[in-house]
């Protein structure tokens, strides 16, 4: 029988790459993000390329009422990919912008919780499901100026481990996937739309691309039912630790 995957933050980057690869693997999709027009374009492309059904839902994961109402009538997907997230700014915490902190915590931590709460209930009722949380190397290590983003991704790591303990007895699998530097819109968002500054993040080394992460997601969710992939950390070869990148100078 066909499986369904619900992806948050499917309008760009890693979420979009997961949509691509899961559609190619025959999954029906429920794609969510705030930018509905992008989701509609993606739906057209994926429906034309693969024999899968694609549903879109405009959703801000920070809005708990919207999340609850949007998911009320949905059946539990086989796979939930909690991917929506962002970093804003790069500065010492004592010079940090408290509005940016709120947005990161509300999106990366509380948003992931609201979506997971709504979907886990349905998965438990059915007795099966798989939740994949996109964490980060910033959730395993900390780096200077990463403070609140790192804290939010450490929270994702803790929640992933907690969810696994609480859901294993209910037939629901939980996987954490933690990437290092992936070139997406992530740094453009982090630097408030400054494309030139964002490009420099990936100068002089071979960064990961979104498909590298989606490949791991698809692998994790297609293991036999009795196998749970707990945790995957994926780094560029040139990035041995969160704050260390070996760049070639020309
Ligand atoms: P992108 O900026 O390309 O994609 C982020 C996605 O999140 C977009 O689809 C965006 O959609 C969505 N999103 C952001 N805020 C919200 C919100 N409030 N409600 C719903 N959707 C939202 O970045 P990435 O693909 O790189 O990021 C995806 C995940 O991967 C994030 O959790 C990020 O922290 C994590 N990650 C990224 C790494 C990297 O180096 N790029 C490394 C490690 C982890 P829209 O704006 O349309 O709502
Ligand atoms: C994104 C990777 O190193 O910019 O989560 O924090 S990093």
pLDDT at residue 33 tops 80:
yes
* Any ligand 1 atom below 6 A from CB of 214: no
- Ligand sitting nearest the alpha carbon of 57: 1
Q: What is the pLDDT of residue 107?
A: 99
Helix (H, G, I), strand (E, B) or coil at 139: helix
Q: How confident is the model at residue 113 (pLDDT cuts 50, 70, 90)?
A: very high
Domain boundaries, the chain: 4-234
Measuring from atom 4 of ligand 2, which residue has the nearest CA?
181
Mean pLDDT of 156-160: 99
Opening angle at CA 107, ends 196 and 76, nearest 5: 125
Q: What is the pLDDT of residue 249?
A: 81
Helix (H, G, I), strand (E, B) or coil at 231: strand
Tens-place pLDDT, residues 162-186: 999 999 999 999 999 999 999 999 9
Give the mutation target among 16, 35, 83, 85 for probing the ligand 1 site: most ligand atoms within 8 A of CB.
Answer: 85
* Ligand 2 atom at minimum distance from 150 CA: 6
Q: Which fold has domain 4-234?
A: Rossmann fold (3.40.50)
Measuring from atom 39 of ligand 1, which residue has the nearest CA?
182
Angle 210-221/13-24 helices, nearest 10 degrees? 50
pLDDT at residue 5 tops 90:
yes
Cα 200 to averaged position of ligand 1 atoms, centre (Å): 19
pLDDT at residue 63 tops 90:
yes
Mean pLDDT of 3-10: 98
pLDDT at residue 120 tops 80:
yes
Which residues are part of the catalytic machinery?
A: 149
* Any ligand 1 atom below 6 A from CB of 83: yes
Beta-carbon neighbour count of residue 82 at 10 Å? 28
Q: What is the pLDDT of residue 1?
A: 80
Separation between Cα atoms, residue 42 and residue 185, nearest integer Å: 16
* Any ligand 2 atom below 6 A from CB of 135: no
- Chain-centroid distance of CA 58 in Å reads 16
Give the mutation target among 14, 84, 134, 136 for probing the ligand 2 site: most ligand atoms within 8 A of CB.
Answer: 136
Average pLDDT, the chain: 98
* Ligand 1 atom at minimum distance from 181 CA: 40
Tens-place pLDDT, residues 65-83: 999 999 999 999 999 999 9
Q: What is the pLDDT of residue 250?
A: 66
Tens-place pLDDT, residues 84-107: 999 999 999 999 999 999 999 999
The pTM of the full predicted model, rounded to 2 decimals, is: 0.98
**Which bin fits 78, alpha (ψ -120 to 50), beta or left (φ > 0)?**
alpha
* Any ligand 2 atom below 6 A from CB of 139: no
């Amino acid at each position: 029988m066909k499986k369904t995957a619900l992806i948050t933050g499917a309008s760009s980057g890693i979420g979009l790459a997961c949509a691509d690869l899961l559609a190619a693997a025959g999954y029906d999709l429920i794609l969510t993000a705030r930018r509905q027009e992008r989701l509609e374009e993606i739906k057209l492309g994926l429906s034309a390329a693969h024999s899968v059904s694609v549903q879109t839902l405009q959703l801000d994961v920070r809005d708990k009422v919207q999340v609850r109402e949007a998911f009320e009538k949905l059946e539990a997907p086989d796979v939930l990919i909690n991917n929506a997230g962002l970093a804003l700014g790069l500065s010492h915490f004592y010079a940090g912008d408290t509005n940016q902190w709120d947005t990161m915590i509300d999106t990366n931590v509380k948003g992931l919780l609201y979506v997971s709460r709504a979907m886990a209930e349905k998965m438990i009722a059915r007795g099966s499901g798989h939740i994949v949380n996109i964490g980060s190397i910033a959730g395993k290590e900390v780096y200077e100026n990463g403070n609140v983003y790192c804290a939010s991704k450490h929270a994702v790591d803790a929640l992933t481990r907690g969810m696994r303990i609480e859901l294993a007895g209910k037939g629901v699998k939980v996987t954490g996937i933690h990437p290092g530097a992936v070139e997406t819109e992530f740094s453009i968002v982090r630097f408030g739309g400054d494309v030139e500054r964002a490009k420099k993040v990936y100068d002089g080394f071979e960064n990961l691309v979104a498909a590298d992460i989606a490949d791991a997601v698809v692998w994790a969710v297609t293991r036999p039912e009795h196998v749970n992939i707990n945790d995957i950390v994926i780094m560029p070869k040139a990035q041995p630790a969160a704050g260390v990148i070996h760049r070639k100078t020309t």
